[in-house]
Amino acid sequence: MKNLNYRKALRIVGIIGTVACVLIFINKPSFPTPDKLLVFLTFAGLSLSQAKELLKRLLPFVALLIVYESFRGLAHSINNHVNYTFMAKFDERLFGSLPTAALQRQLWHGSVQWYDFVLYINYMLHFVMPLALAIIIWKMRDSYYWRFMYSYVVLSFAGFVTYFIYPAAPPWMASDKKIIEPITRVSSHVWAALGVNDFPSLYNKIAPNPVAAVPSLHCAYATLFAVIIFKLFGKKWGALSSIYPILMYFGVVYQGEHYVFDVIIGVIFAFSAFYIIEFIFALKSKIIQLKETEQLSTTENSPDYV
């Protein structure tokens, strides 16, 4: 009876906490960072009596993301030789002109339009989608869960190493320094129009890295998301999931956050992380199978085997 009442009390706490999180976000919208998402999901897990299992799966993932972001924030203070021009020259050579400037001439008219909201909300899903995918895989393809997590971890830390070796400025920063033609940071205007606030959180205490443009991890995360959906759920769901990275590719270039070069490198990093983890797990599986075959062969050849 006591256990029943205890579980019931936890569910009530979970329901109240979940509703409170939703109301706080509606009243004071803020960027959905990993730690805030974990708090929300913990309350949701309590309301469904699955908080313990959920934390066991998501806490290591969220902790690793926060550690990665902490490292990323240090990268530009270790290597302060910022690259401003190569990415812009690559884009101009590839397209004949700077894609960000060309898109803004067509789409940006000094005030936020409906498509700016769509693109920026898609941009804000950077941490939401991997955590949502983590829950889906946990519930529907559990045997693949840790392979999924390691793919994102490898991708994140590969990004950190690159930021350390090659600090690179985004288009809006190069424009502010008059290195390239004038570019508007559209995302800042959308941020203001949405009334988004930096609601206090552990993540917001981490110093941001303004020169972490290569690769675009927003695009890399989105690409890896779609690749895993294709792998686990087939072409139909994979094609639907591709809307997310496609909007991300377009949005980060148009809104002045990244060059096309950054997007391309992000996509390459995503596929590389996926196939590296696939190779490692396939190799591990083969080693286990060989050991099992050797053990069976030894047993069969034993004098005591009947």
Q: Quick check: is 52 in a domain?
A: no
Pair 35, 66: CB distance under 8 Å: yes
Q: Quick check: is 18 in a domain?
A: no
Q: Quick check: is 250 in a domain?
A: yes
Domain encompassing residue 257: 60-300
- Helix ranges (DSSP H) in 242-259: 243-254
Q: Quick check: is 6 in a domain?
A: no
List per-block mean pLDDT (blocks of 10 residues) for the chain, which spans 306 residues.
62 72 69 68 68 70 67 54 90 94 92 92 86 87 88 88 86 91 88 65 53 87 96 94 96 94 96 95 83 65 55
Q: Quick check: is 179 in a domain?
A: yes
Distant-in-sequence, close-in-space partners of 53: CB < 8 Å, separation ≥ 6: 45
Q: Quick check: is 225 in a domain?
A: yes
What confidence score (pLDDT) does residue 113 get? Answer: 92
Is this structure's pTM higher than 0.85? no
Residue whose token pair is 């606030």: 197
- Helix ranges (DSSP H) in the chain: 2-27, 34-47, 51-78, 86-95, 99-107, 114-124, 128-140, 145-165, 171-176, 186-194, 217-241, 243-254, 260-300
What CA–CA distance (Å, rounded) separates 28 from 67?
26
What confidence score (pLDDT) does residue 68 get? Answer: 60
Please count the structural domains in the chain: 1
Q: Quick check: is 38 in a domain?
A: no
What confidence score (pLDDT) does residue 303 get? Answer: 57
- DSSP code string of 15-70: HHHHHHHHHHHHHS-B---HHHHHHHHHHHHHHTT-HHHHHHHHHHHHHHHHHHHH
